[in-house]
Amino acid sequence: MSIFDLRQLPAGYVELHDARRQRRWTVQLEPFEIGASSVTTAQYAQVMGNSQTGSPTPLVDISWLDAIRFCNAASMHEALSPAYIFEAGEVAWRTNASGYRLPTEAEWEYACRAGTVGPHYGPLDAIAWTAHDGLEHPQEVGQKLPNAFGLHDTLGNVWEWCWNLLDPARYDDYRVFRGGGFADKSWSVRASTRRGGAPGMSHPDLGLRLARGAFAEALAAQGWSAGADAERGKITGMLPSGWTPRRNQLRPMQGNVNAQR
């Protein structure tokens, strides 16, 4: 029996927005599963065999790379086929694998919205832990009201890593995280807000939510494709002021960046 509570979501669609390219598009999603809450420290300890038992608070201070490794470890813990392989320092998603993985950005937003179209799926004080609560640490999962899919804390409490690149033309290998954290103000805790950070970065309000779902196409699934990543990685025109140069140039900024939509 799995230690993770995943909800089966139906096929559907979600509208996404690329602010830099001033482009909106609709992603059609196949059915998939996603965690009812963020991964907790107790679940992490059980999978990784730590002597500490952990607690029902979200796992935080985990980098994107370590989140990927945890997904594979959770898969092997339950005799599932790992979703990720490491090749020459890069991570590849085996889209036909049955194991745990990070949600794509389209999956995450579809799951968060649960059929709603506004910035929140309910009154923010009822559904999310934010700076308004004056907290210093993440709170136990599942204490606020869930959305219509039965998912808790998709907004507030902790940010959650996604599979997708943030903007490969400007931030190279930075990965997306979504949802807002316990120390964020309401303007940042929105279904459409995007942030990102280097894959080795960690932060005390950044965790993960597991997903599952296997797909036939090898290089594209659930709103992501390797070809689109390559196309988005092409720089056209001058770099706007404040954007981070690519990896093969001097990178003055480390940590996370805002890309609110």
Cα–Cα dist 146/127, whole Å? 7
Asked if residue 39 lies in contact with residue 119, where contact means CB atoms within 8 angstroms, the answer is: no
Provide φ and ψ at 23, rounded to 5°. -130, 135
Distance CA 199, CA 260 (A): 19
The pLDDT tens digits for 134-182 are: 999 999 999 999 999 999 999 999 999 999 999 998 898 999 999 999 9
CB 164 within 8 A of CB 175: yes
Is the Cα dihedral 106, 35, 1, 54 positive or negative?
Answer: positive
pTM over 0.85: yes
Rounded Cα distance between 98 and 92, Å, is 15
More reliable by pLDDT, 260 or 71: 71
In DSSP terms, 18 is beta-bridged to 23
Distances from the Cα of 260 to the Cα of 187, 189, 190, 192, 206, angstroms: 10, 10, 9, 7, 17
C-beta separation of 64 from 178 below 8 A:
no
| 199-235: b (≥16 Cβ within 10 Å) or e | bebbbebbbbbbbbbbeeeeeebbbbeeeeeeebeee
Evaluate whether 158 touches 181 at the Cβ level (below 8 Å).
yes
CA distance 198 to 99: 24
Instruction: List alpha helices for the chain, DSSP H.
Output: 41-48, 64-77, 105-113, 124-127, 168-171, 226-232
pLDDT tens digits along 31-57: 999 999 999 999 999 999 886 788 999
Looking at 20-24, 129-133, 182-186, 228-232, which range is the least confident one? 20-24
pLDDT > 90 in the chain, percent: 77
**259/167 Cα distance (integer angstroms):** 9
For the domain 6-236, what is the CATH superfamily, name and number?
paralog of FGE (formylglycine-generating enzyme) (3.90.1580.10)
Closest CA to 130 of 61, 186, 58: 186
